[in-house]
Amino acid sequence: MFVVFASENCWLFNRISAILTDMEKKVIKKIQEAVGQANLLTDVEDRSCYSYDASSQNFMPDAVALPETKEQVAALLCLAEEYGFPVIPRGAGSGTTGGALPVQGGLVIGFSRMKRILEIDPDNMIAVVEPGVVTGELQAALKKYGLMYPPDPASLKFCSIGGNAGECAGGPSAVKYGVTRDYIIGLEVVLPGGKIMRTGVRTEKGVVGYDLTRLFIGSEGTLAVFTQLILRLLPLAETKVTFLLSFSSLAQATRLVAEILAAGLMPCTLEYMDKTAVQVVRDQITWQPPEKTAALLLVEFDGDQAEVAQQAQKFADFVWQKKNCTLRQAADEAEIKELWQARCSIAPACLHLRPHKIAEDVVVPRSSIPKLVQFTEQLAQELNLIILTFGHAGDGNIHVNIMVDKQNQEEYNNGCKAKEQLFERVLALGGTLSGEHGVGITKSSFLAQELDATALSVMKQLKKLFDPHNILNPGKIFPAH
């Protein structure tokens, strides 16, 4: 089992159901004692549910623990250090870069039994939660108190706060409200070896000692395991107005993004879809964008009634002066849903074009969006590929989906080539390879292209400081060589 093979980087499918050595039996028994028999999964059927995530890759864990307390998590990390097996913390498996996959086998720790909202403090606009809390469920619970936790990843109906924190997830609202990092002010974590530690504060400000909280946010489960998170909240926005803008010119749409923000307008959504994305969703939606649509922008403003009315008017006037698009305003909740349909249908619909996608969440300075999109169009033509671009234009975070059929070797190779050229171009434009999905395993071989050699070396030393035996989520972020 993992005791023997952990360092050999191999995938031990179904090994537990085969004959175990005495040593392996002993470790399994210890893990069972640590979390209780009911919280340990070793059957292949159970384990297989934890073998994949949204990256479409598959690695079987040797066992899965579902601890109920921080003490159980600590006991597991203590055992992992003693017996040298990998531990892979897992949120809800909605990550797209393989962050939660047991690429070297080992023990997956799931948090579906640590999903309590421990505290909602409306006076101080603070919540304390366990890592397994589903982001959307937290948002619903907060609504009753007139509060909101803004980060809204597309997977919010099933992703967890712990996973969001591990990857520093974003979402459409980031353009106005920022990302996960901006809302986590304190943590309780378990370190490799099993020590429990508290970081940060439960106040709006705090500068005592080094900022361990933000060092852990976005560290993709490689430095520490979260067992509690302290969140800062905002008053719930009273209402929202939704606009859809259709353009017959892609360049006009992408240019408008920077102009909207420069004009001091502060939308809480500023999403973009290119022509291919629009075509792909035509069959999935109950309304039809104008025939010659080259790009769509979905723009929303939130706040109290008066504020939203005023922003909406200002925005409509602003767009009107541009005279380069058609503007549609949603009249009610039903119409808002209808307009969002287009944006939300892209992910499932694009798989009608090709069975697989290479999906990247690159970021460029907003003013370079037109250049980036133009480049992907060129790439598609040169390499004979279908490439969609859409996403969070407001913060320059463009989702690029390169559609391929993996059975078609030439197409797949071209897809990989396109990804490489895309990354090169993004970096040349002053951008970054990931805005919200992290590095995981799918981007680790490109890390050195973005990071300065010294920074990469410092990060490796940090990993070694926290996790000297490379037990916590090994094989992630850093390239193997």
Residues of this chain, 365-424, that bind its own copies according to CB under 8 A: 365-367, 392, 394-397
Judged by CB under 8 A, does residue 480 bind its own copies? no
8 A C-beta contact, residue 217 and residue 231? no
Considering only 75-83, 320-328, 376-384, 461-469, which stretch makes contact with its own copies by CB under 8 A?
461-469
For residue 275, report the phi and psi dihedrals to the nearest 5 degrees.
-60, -45
Q: In 3D, which of 9, 59, 53, 5 has the Cα closest to residue 166? A: 53
Q: In 3D, which of 49, 208, 57, 226 has the Cα closest to residue 132? A: 226
Q: Which of 252, 341, 432, 445 binds its own copies (CB under 8 A)?
A: 432
Q: How far is the CB of 200 from its own copies (least distance, A)?
A: 9
Q: How many residues does the chain have?
A: 481
| Nearer to its own copies (CB atom), residue 10 or residue 263 | 263
Q: How far is the CB of 404 from its own copies (least distance, A)?
A: 24
Q: Write out the binding residues for its own copies, residues 298-337 only, by CB under 8 A.
A: 304, 306-307, 310-311, 314
Judged by CB under 8 A, does residue 278 bind its own copies? no
Binding residues for its own copies, rule CB under 8 A, total 90
Considering only 22-30, 82-90, 260-268, 288-296, which stretch makes contact with its own copies by CB under 8 A?
260-268
| Nearer to its own copies (CB atom), residue 145 or residue 412 | 145
8 A C-beta contact, residue 6 and residue 23? no
Residue 103 gets the label, from left (phi > 0), alpha (psi -120 to 50) or beta, of alpha
Q: Write out the binding residues for its own copies, residues 18-47 only, by CB under 8 A.
A: none
Judged by CB under 8 A, does residue 435 bind its own copies? yes
Query: From CA 445, how far away is CA 40, in angstroms rounded?
Result: 33
| Nearer to its own copies (CB atom), residue 97 or residue 276 | 97
Considering only 26-34, 111-119, 315-323, 432-440, which stretch makes contact with its own copies by CB under 8 A?
432-440
Q: Is 395 helix (H, G, I), strand (E, B) or coil?
A: helix
Judged by CB under 8 A, does residue 458 bind its own copies? yes
Q: Which of 36, 235, 355, 479 binds its own copies (CB under 8 A)?
A: 235
Query: From CA 477, how far away is CA 95, in angstroms rounded?
Result: 14
| Nearer to its own copies (CB atom), residue 20 or residue 266 | 266
H-type alpha helices, 323-408: 333-350, 369-382
Cross-strand pairs, 108: 64, 88
Judged by CB under 8 A, does residue 49 bind its own copies? no
Amino acid present at 103: V
Q: In 3D, which of 418, 477, 409, 470 has the Cα closest to residue 446? A: 477
Judged by CB under 8 A, does residue 454 bind its own copies? yes
Judged by CB under 8 A, does residue 450 bind its own copies? yes
Judged by CB under 8 A, does residue 164 bind its own copies? no
Q: How far is the CB of 254 from its own copies (least distance, A)?
A: 12
What's CA 346's distance to the chain center, in Å?
A: 17
Q: Decide the pairing of beta strands 87-90 and 107-110.
A: parallel
Q: Which of 46, 121, 137, 335 binds its own copies (CB under 8 A)?
A: 121
Q: How far is the CB of 379 from its own copies (least distance, A)?
A: 21
- Say which residues have a Cβ less than 8 Å from residue 146's Cβ, sequence separation at least 6: 122, 235, 236
Query: From CA 316, how far away is CA 31, in angstroms rounded?
Result: 60
Q: How far is the CB of 234 from its own copies (least distance, A)?
A: 9
| Tokens at 114, concatenated | 């640590």
| Nearer to its own copies (CB atom), residue 408 or residue 444 | 444
Based on the number of CB atoms within 10 Å of its own CB, is 323 exposed (0-12), middle (13-18) or buried (19 or more)? Answer: exposed
Judged by CB under 8 A, does residue 443 bind its own copies? yes
Query: From CA 131, how far away is CA 147, in angstroms rounded?
Result: 19
Query: From CA 52, how far away is CA 33, in angstroms rounded?
Result: 27
Considering only 65-73, 192-200, 326-334, 410-418, which stretch makes contact with its own copies by CB under 8 A?
192-200
Considering only 155-163, 262-270, 340-348, 408-416, which stretch makes contact with its own copies by CB under 8 A?
262-270
| Tokens at 55, concatenated | 């990256």
Full strand arrangement of the beta sheet holding 107-110: 40-41, 63-65, 107-110, 87-90
Judged by CB under 8 A, does residue 428 bind its own copies? no
| Nearer to its own copies (CB atom), residue 335 or residue 450 | 450
Q: How far is the CB of 208 from its own copies (least distance, A)?
A: 5
Q: Write out the binding residues for its own copies, residues 204-233 only, by CB under 8 A.
A: 204-212, 214-215, 217-219, 223
| Nearer to its own copies (CB atom), residue 126 or residue 142 | 126
